[in-house]
Amino acid sequence: MAFGQLLQQWMDLCRDEPDLMAELLASRDNQKELEDRFYQDLAFGTGGMRGVLGAGRNRMNVFTVRRAAAGLADYLNSDPDSRGKCVAIGFDSRKYSDRFAKQTALVLAARGVRACLFDSLRPVPMLSFAVRRLGAAAGVVITASHNPPEYNGFKAYGPDGAQLSPEAADSMTEAIRALSFEEALPMDEQEALRTGMLTIIGEEIDAAYNDMVLGLMVCPDVVREVGSQLRIVYTPLHGSGNLPVRRALRDAGITHVKVVPEQELPDPAFSTVRAPNPEDPAAFDMAIPLARQAGATVILGTDPDCDRLGVCAMDSQGSFRTLSGNQIGCLLLHHILSARKAAGTLPENGAAVKSIVSTNLANAICEDYGVTLYEVLTGFKYIGEKIQQFEDSGEHIFLFGFEESYGYLSGTEVRDKDAVNAAVLVAEAACVCLKEGITLFDRLQQIYARYGYYDEMTWSGTYPGKEGAEQIKSIMARLHDETPGDIDGVKVLAKRDYLKGVETSKQGSAPLLFPPSDVVYFKLDRQFWTCVRPSGTEPKIKFYAGASHPGSLQDAKEACAQLLEAFKQLAK
């Protein structure tokens, strides 16, 4: 169908949506703009769909959301195990999130699937918890995580509370593609409530979730002893973490928590930050002065859907240092393992899980404590799959999982990264340090001194539109086909091609026991490594590098920076 025909179809569709209609009218004479709006359907993958808000099939809007919801309903109705079960639905503070969530619920109801909709914004991990708690067939959360304000998204979860598996996502994609936008219609809200096809949920789930989070603490006695002495500043970055994080910290025994007032309440424009992303040190610009004023030594920040946690910790000179996701992950891993070993509760069959692009420092920590460490592809659903495998086989007890992208989990009743759980654990670790007369930053230095200095860096390249997609495809094709002898003078020991499912080295080839994924990883000498993968939900490609050094973190950082730059040039 030509873009002109698609434009007319969407103008008919948007006759009762004045904002969308105005966009279409403004762009009807701009062929490049029309191409970007209409050249493809907004992609639906294992992370759901995510895109810029606006009019068109390649945008997030009420029509693409309704169609996705209708596809989910048809997918569930075709599965005998899902019939009669509800779908749990949550949303964050982004523009239109509440409307998109309600429309999702009403479209499901219209197609015979009961919807359980949260009464207000909630963290993503609480949605995952609700899916399992309610015995739901699936879950949906309307969020674009830490993306800029012009984005929103539709994330789908399976009955295990983890994001959809690749197979389930493929089936749902087929169901969506079989539908027109015109036939994805909602039920009347009052009728849905009257007939029980729509149920509003809230405090009962909140209380159960909070109890679960507190039950994951490993040193609750220490927190009760010194928690009143620890001072924390917290910023929810205008998102859904505000009430759940504060409630959990208070009930754990952390009584001095100050919230950045300018960033406390929901704001779809995220007007106080460059991006609502706790990975960005600038996200803490307002929190640091408040921490100095309050005498705090730890600052916590969560993203809009509260699945990622960032941390600033005071160093010995009184400066606040923003920690990387790998550093936070290793602090929490060490905290859990050391506390459980001291208490005699570290199981012999304990296991931890990290993504393939997360730090090798975790390997050294797990080896020291006799804990098996598993690696999975990027995407927390793969950590969720490992948890399920451990439960099904009884082979291991899950202790902790993390990704370098600021995602952490220490329990099994949530199957996605959980910043509420992580915030309580960071506060608990800080209390243990306080009792020992050191800071959280001091603990990190102790870990480096014991296991060696590791540093990791990433770089994301954005390639928007159709031309950008072709550039990303070209970069990946080259790296799948070519294997360099060295990168920045460091010898390549092996290449792992996760799309082809094979690792190659001088010793030969061996299969990789992972699902196919468009990822290339180079294992280098001296515990160095590089990796590249395209995003599944955004027009981006990410480059990763990791380096280690026995002498200092600065040496590791310099080596890592040089390695990453050399790898980027090689790929391009």
Q: Please, are residues 341 and 369 in contact by the beta-carbon 8 Å criterion? A: yes
| DSSP codes joined into one string, 341-374 | HHHT---TTEEEEEETTS-THHHHHHHHHT-EEE
Q: Exposed, middle or buried, 244 (CB in 10 Å: 0-12/13-18/19+)? A: buried
474: which residues sit within 8 A by CB, 6+ positions away? none
Q: Please, are residues 173 and 70 in contact by the beta-carbon 8 Å criterion? A: no
Residue 145 annotated among the catalytic residues of the structure: yes
> In angstroms, rounded to a whole number, what is the distance separating the alpha carbons of residues 139 and 128?
7
Q: How many CB atoms lie within 10 A of CB 501?
A: 14
| DSSP codes joined into one string, 249-308 | HHHHT--EEEE-GGGSS--TT-TTSSSS-TTSGGGGTTHHHHHHHHT-SEEEEE-TTS--
Q: Please, are residues 165 and 382 in contact by the beta-carbon 8 Å criterion? A: no
Q: Name the amino acid, one letter, at 407.
A: G
> In angstroms, rounded to a whole number, what is the distance separating the alpha carbons of residues 298 and 447?
18
| CA 53, 55, 60, 63 torsion-angle sign | positive
- Using CA atoms, how far residue 104 sits from 203, 244, 316, in Å, is 21, 24, 50
Q: Please, are residues 50 and 60 in contact by the beta-carbon 8 Å criterion? A: yes
Which residue among the candidates 145, 240, 338, 405 is catalytic per the annotation?
A: 145
Which residue do the tokens 């493809």 mark? Answer: 40
> In angstroms, rounded to a whole number, what is the distance separating the alpha carbons of residues 418 and 124?
8
> In angstroms, rounded to a whole number, what is the distance separating the alpha carbons of residues 484 and 531?
13
258: which residues sit within 8 A by CB, 6+ positions away? 231, 232, 233, 234, 290, 291, 294, 296
Active site residues: 145
